[in-house]
Structure formats: C-alpha cells, structure tokens
Amino acid sequence: MASTNQQGDPPSSSSSLQSSSFSEDWRQRILIPTIIAGVVGGGVGLVSKHRKAHGLANISAAYASNLAIVTGCYCGAREFVRATRKTGPDDLLNSAIAGFGSGAILGRLQGGRYGAYRYSLIFAVAGTAADFAALKLGPKLRNFSESMFDKKTGSLKLPEWFPIQILDEEALAAKKAREEKLYSQRAIGKLSKEES
C-alpha cells in the first residue's frame, strides 16, 4: 500500500528522488571513505614499529578498525550537519562543525575532558583540510582518469610511447599483412640461400 502525506496525497516523485540521492551520498560520502580508511589503517599497521611487540595481525587490525571508526564518525557527522544545514557537499563549514563534534565525542571517550578539547580541534582542522584537498584535487583526478580510459571500449588506454599497444581491427589486420609479407620474404631468402 502506498504511503500518503498529511494531506492524503500520494508521495511525490521528488521525495523518492531525494531518498535515492541520499542513498548514493551515503555510499560515496560515508561508506567508501570508511572502507578506504580501514585499508590505509591496516597498511599503516603493517609498517608500524609496534608490530613486533603486539603481533602483525593484531596491530594491523587495531589500526584499521580505529581509523575506520574515526573516519566513519567524521563522515557521518559531516553528512548529518549537511542535511541539518541544508547545504551542498562542498561547504567546508560542514566539515569544521562535524570535525569539532565527532572529535569532541571520540576525544571524551578516549581522554576525558582535555581529550575532548584536543581531539575536537584536531578533527576539525584535519577533516576540513582533507575535504578542502578533496575539493581541489577532485576535478584533476577525474580528468586524469578520463585520459587513462578509452571511452568507446572502457579499457585502459596506454600512452603512445608505451612499447605494448592494444590494436584495433584495422591495426591488427595491417600488422598481420606486414608479418605475412615479412614471412614470405624470409622464405624466399632461405630458398635462394639453399640453391646457391
């Protein structure tokens, strides 16, 4: 049964569009950074100086989970602030507020009142700086990725100077014709050497 709003009208398509947009934002702005942070944290654990004392698996899992928790809290708080303030995803004030709030909560859990002050400032500065860098580098990374992939086939496009090339049908036919011509010239050359 379809839900209705207070006036008894069926829900509009804009509300369903807005909910699908939120689910895409949730994946791209919370879930993916959290997973990436977990992988980075695990990598940092692999090279940590504490790996011998605590064990490689334990320290990698601890770093991965801690960084994923911090990133998940920050990204969730940033999206909450964005939805509350009704601003776009490129507003850096959302990042500062979210960093301050999530840092205060996690800092209070970790280090008491002074930890809350310290962590809130660190999270606000680091989160805003990371979002600023992402805003500035985003278009450049998109241009770079577009230049690396062929739009027609969707495959990786190698630079022209690269010694290995992926040939299309015409280039493959021309290469085959050159090879057959070269093979026939070699065969004729071998025959003339055998006769003499």
- Nearest to residue 105, comparing CAs of 119, 85, 121, 125? 119
Do 84 and 31 share a domain, yes or no? yes
pLDDT at 5: 45
Class of residue 12 by CB neighbours under 10 A (exposed 0-12, middle 13-18, buried 19+)? exposed
Tell me whether residue 4 is in a domain: no
Q: In terms of domains, do 28 and 70 share one? A: yes
Can you give the pTM of this predicted structure?
0.64
Domain limit, last residue, from 113, 133, 148: 148
The reply to whether 8 falls in a domain is no
Per-residue pLDDT of the chain (196 residues; tens, 9 = 90+): 444 444 444 444 444 445 445 556 677 888 889 999 999 999 999 888 888 888 888 899 999 999 999 999 999 999 899 889 888 878 899 999 999 999 999 999 888 889 899 999 999 999 999 999 989 998 888 887 777 777 777 777 777 777 777 677 888 888 889 888 888 888 777 666 666 5
Determine contact, residues 61/45, Cβ cutoff 8 Å: yes
Owning domain of residue 67: 17-148
Whether 130 and 190 share a structural domain: no
Domain count, the chain: 2
Boundary of a domain, candidates 127, 148, 169: 148
The single-letter DSSP state of residue 31 is I
